[in-house]
Chain A
Amino acid sequence: MHQPTDTPRPSIYYKYKVYPCQPIQQLRSQTRKKVAIAGAGPAGMTAALIMKRMGVDSVILESERQVSQGSRAIVFTRRSMEILQQVGVAHKVMESGLPWNAGNSFYRGKRVFRMEAPLSEHDRFPALINLQQQYLEEYLVDACIDAGIEIRWGNKITDILEHDPVVKMRVDTAEGEYDFEVDWLIAADGARSNIRQKYGLMMEGDSYEGRFVIADIKIDLDLPTERLAFFDPSWNPGNTVLMHREPHGIWRIDYQLPPGETPEQALSPASLEQRINAQLEMIGKGGIPWEMDWSSVYSARAMTLPEYCHGHILFTGDAAHMLPIFGVRGANTAFQDSQNLAWKLALVCQKKAPVDLLETYSKERVGAAREIIQEGGRSTRFMTPPSHGFKLLRNATLSLALQHEFVRPLFHWRTSRAHTYADSTLNVAHHASGSSAEARVGAVMPNIKLDNGSYLLDHLSPAFHLIVYSDFYDSTEMERMETFQAELKEQNIALDILAIYGQPGACAKPSQLYDSENHFKQFMWESLDHGPRVFLVRPDQHIAGCWTQPDRNCFAQVQSATGAFFILQ
């Protein structure tokens, strides 16, 4: 019998809610569904919400009855916010989160490096925003409830009997067990995924020696909301300390453990107190009263499964990969995974696409994980040097940075970013030249601010879009596009048309979008004189193809591109 705790988790700032369990009779009466998702975390709920927006239901099985313990993933990137906008919670994060865009590195009391992510008027969201994971999960849970997505709290998957072509599970609850069968199981059950372990699936990559304590303390610190990294501090020689501000007067402190120290030793109240006081003392904030909320130990890892599809089980988030905290790669990668997976699984469930569409999920996202392991590996080798050689070079860099500019870029902390699926088989093979580097096929459609104050990505819901830019509204051209759209609809292919005009023409309609300052051309074209007017954008906002104009050739290619996703009824 699985008995998850029904006492609200302790926290000095967050009020945990214990969600009700459905009675076992109810659960036993509904044992066949299309999609189940293991885990009500950021990865699982994002997948459920996007699928729902595309018209496909899923059931989330969560072994606990509350959201996560502790603040965990506290930094969300702009790309993550764009994905959270697609599921309808970004505005809540904006209301309660702390935006920022600058990071600092300190050595021997001197700031040796500062990096500011550029702020563009064409981005709705800040470069980074801090919010404790409990709040984000709470917003996602509320969104699931509003969308009518069933979350089975206190349901723990204890065994999987079959996984291809259907998934048969045994689920345990406080009132007993039941069997559950689905066509697809999304494994979003985190770093210690029981599902991944059950099949003995091994990850490739690197596990680093460096272990870190992360501690949330309540303290009133007059410091900016910026990344603060301290190298080789006097109280923790050779190691690294990070500090981040969170809402509600909370500060996150990460510090590296000396080799050989166990998590138990590191998490003892005396050890935590001594070290946190030492850090505060070092930055001139000694003596300010503080209170501990939560602490944990983690090790730096850069690993991924080589394949995310295992029969009809699909891995996403930390269940699929464990990525470095440096560059905030954990939850931020999970959102991208789930966004990529959800639209493809939705089409497969609706029988609008062949099952092998899901292979592209695995290829695209394993590719992204490998890029992260490469990039993140560099940051990790700098933050927690794994060998004598790396330690020496890192320390040489620290020392040189005090006087020499040329080494300072080596402090660059590579942040989580969107990936370009340049080699995806879903990309249109022959596309127009003339698009800018930012608007190349495979990349996320660049965002621009439009005349009415909205942003381009605001309009890119989880659906295929044909974005068409014209200087003026042309009714003939629009009619041609609408006819094409209707033809596709008859073949059960849904394509939204997003038209953007440089100027209102003679027949301007109130709902049209205008870009009178030529931002479209500036961002999407390599040269202002000419470029592709038409972009095919996937439900995850990545560009699949572009064309000079919406002519027959363009329509034929869009048809065959989207036809590749869809099987004709």
Chain B
Amino acid sequence: MQVQDLEIIYDELAREIDRAGEKSELFLAKLSLLLANELGEKSLVLELIKSSSQDL
């Protein structure tokens, strides 16, 4: 992805998390499912879940 696009997504995510307030976790869970469905590949998604859980 182009950095400029990544920057736009970055900002949008941050703002949406703020807007969601207490529901931010729910928002991120929904987004995870929507993105997983779009990607459509189980092993890729499971790999990304693993990546995300590193270095927390």
Residues of A within 8 A of B (CB): 392-393, 395-397, 399-400, 404, 406-407
A372, B33: Cα distance in complex, Å:
26
Q: State the Cβ distance, B50 to closest chain A Cβ, in Å.
A: 15
Establish whether residues A395 and B29, one from each chain, have CB atoms under 8 Å apart when the complex forms: yes
Sample of 22 A–B contacts (CB below 8 Å): A392-B25, A392-B26, A392-B29, A393-B29, A393-B33, A395-B26, A395-B29, A396-B26, A396-B29, A396-B30, A396-B32, A396-B33, A397-B33, A399-B26, A399-B30, A400-B30, A400-B33, A400-B34, A404-B34, A406-B37, A407-B33, A407-B37
User: What is the 8 Å Cβ interface bit string for chain B, positions 7-41, against chain A (1 contact, 0 not)?
Assistant: 00000000000000000011001101110010000
Extra 15 A-B pairs, beta carbons < 8 Å, given A399-B26, A400-B30, A406-B37: A392-B25, A392-B26, A392-B29, A393-B29, A393-B33, A395-B26, A395-B29, A396-B26, A396-B29, A396-B30, A396-B33, A397-B33, A400-B34, A407-B33, A407-B37
A392, B31: Cα distance in complex, Å:
12
Q: Which 6 pairs across A and B sit closest by C-beta, in order of nearness?
A: A396-B29, A396-B30, A392-B29, A406-B37, A400-B30, A395-B26
Q: State the Cβ distance, B46 to closest chain A Cβ, in Å.
A: 15
For A395, what are the chain B residues with a Cβ–Cβ distance below 8 Å?
26, 29
Residues of B within 8 A of A (CB): 25-26, 29-30, 32-34, 37
A396, B26: Cα distance in complex, Å:
6
A358, B37: Cα distance in complex, Å:
47
A392, B26: Cα distance in complex, Å:
6
Q: What number of A-B contacts does a CB cutoff of 8 Å give?
A: 22
Among B25, B30, B37, max chain A CB count under 10 A is at B30
A126, B27: Cα distance in complex, Å:
41
Q: State the Cβ distance, A116 to closest chain B Cβ, in Å.
A: 24
For B32, what are the chain A residues with a Cβ–Cβ distance below 8 Å?
396
For A399, what are the chain B residues with a Cβ–Cβ distance below 8 Å?
26, 30
For A392, what are the chain B residues with a Cβ–Cβ distance below 8 Å?
25-26, 29
For B34, what are the chain A residues with a Cβ–Cβ distance below 8 Å?
400, 404
A397, B36: Cα distance in complex, Å:
13
Q: State the Cβ distance, A382 to closest chain B Cβ, in Å.
A: 14
A397, B34: Cα distance in complex, Å:
10
A537, B30: Cα distance in complex, Å:
49
For B30, what are the chain A residues with a Cβ–Cβ distance below 8 Å?
396, 399-400
Closest partner residue, chain B, to A389 (CB atom) = B29
A396, B35: Cα distance in complex, Å:
13
For B37, what are the chain A residues with a Cβ–Cβ distance below 8 Å?
406-407
Closest partner residue, chain A, to B38 (CB atom) = A406
A397, B29: Cα distance in complex, Å:
9
Q: State the Cβ distance, A394 to closest chain B Cβ, in Å.
A: 9
A80, B32: Cα distance in complex, Å:
41
Q: State the Cβ distance, A407 to closest chain B Cβ, in Å.
A: 6
For A396, what are the chain B residues with a Cβ–Cβ distance below 8 Å?
26, 29-30, 32-33
Q: State the Cβ distance, A542 to closest chain B Cβ, in Å.
A: 33
Q: State the Cβ distance, B32 to closest chain A Cβ, in Å.
A: 8
A400, B33: Cα distance in complex, Å:
9
For A404, what are the chain B residues with a Cβ–Cβ distance below 8 Å?
34
Closest partner residue, chain A, to B25 (CB atom) = A392
For B26, what are the chain A residues with a Cβ–Cβ distance below 8 Å?
392, 395-396, 399
Q: State the Cβ distance, B21 to closest chain A Cβ, in Å.
A: 15
Closest partner residue, chain B, to A395 (CB atom) = B26
A406, B29: Cα distance in complex, Å:
15
Q: State the Cβ distance, A156 to closest chain B Cβ, in Å.
A: 52
Q: State the Cβ distance, B22 to closest chain A Cβ, in Å.
A: 12
A404, B26: Cα distance in complex, Å:
16
Q: State the Cβ distance, B20 to closest chain A Cβ, in Å.
A: 11
For A393, what are the chain B residues with a Cβ–Cβ distance below 8 Å?
29, 33
Q: State the Cβ distance, A19 to closest chain B Cβ, in Å.
A: 55
A397, B30: Cα distance in complex, Å:
7
A392, B37: Cα distance in complex, Å:
17
For A397, what are the chain B residues with a Cβ–Cβ distance below 8 Å?
33
A248, B55: Cα distance in complex, Å:
61
Q: State the Cβ distance, A336 to closest chain B Cβ, in Å.
A: 33
Closest partner residue, chain B, to A407 (CB atom) = B33
Closest partner residue, chain A, to B31 (CB atom) = A396
A397, B26: Cα distance in complex, Å:
10
For B25, what are the chain A residues with a Cβ–Cβ distance below 8 Å?
392
A404, B31: Cα distance in complex, Å:
12
A478, B2: Cα distance in complex, Å:
77
Q: State the Cβ distance, B40 to closest chain A Cβ, in Å.
A: 10
Closest partner residue, chain B, to A396 (CB atom) = B29
A396, B24: Cα distance in complex, Å:
11
Closest partner residue, chain A, to B29 (CB atom) = A396
Q: State the Cβ distance, B19 to closest chain A Cβ, in Å.
A: 15
Q: State the Cβ distance, B17 to closest chain A Cβ, in Å.
A: 15
A404, B30: Cα distance in complex, Å:
11
Among B26, B29, B32, B34, max chain A CB count under 10 A is at B29
A305, B33: Cα distance in complex, Å:
36
A399, B34: Cα distance in complex, Å:
12
For A400, what are the chain B residues with a Cβ–Cβ distance below 8 Å?
30, 33-34
For B33, what are the chain A residues with a Cβ–Cβ distance below 8 Å?
393, 396-397, 400, 407
Q: State the Cβ distance, B26 to closest chain A Cβ, in Å.
A: 6
A530, B33: Cα distance in complex, Å:
45
A406, B37: Cα distance in complex, Å:
8
A407, B26: Cα distance in complex, Å:
15
Closest partner residue, chain B, to A406 (CB atom) = B37
Q: State the Cβ distance, A408 to closest chain B Cβ, in Å.
A: 12
